[in-house]
Amino acid sequence: MLHDFGNAAGNFIMSLNKAQMIEKVRYARNLDTHTANRAVNVVLDEISNALATGNRVEIRGFGVFAPTQRKPRVGRNPRTGEKVEVDSKVALAFRASRHILSRLNEGME
Q: How many CB atoms lie within 10 A of CB 1?
A: 7
pLDDT tens digit sequence for 99-109 = 999 988 886 65
Residue 65 shares a structural domain with residue 107: yes
Domain CATH number, residue 102:
4.10.520.10
pLDDT tens digit sequence for 36-61 = 999 999 999 999 999 999 999 999 99
Identify the band that residue 30 occupies on the pLDDT scale cut at 50, 70 and 90.
very high
- Which of 54, 73, 91 is the C-terminal boundary of a domain? 54
Residue 65 shares a structural domain with residue 35: no
Element (H, E) at 74: strand 73-76
| Mean per-residue pLDDT of the chain | 89
Backbone angles phi, psi at 30, to 5 degrees: 55, 50
Structural domain boundaries enclosing 42: 1-54
Q: Say how many domains are in the chain.
A: 2
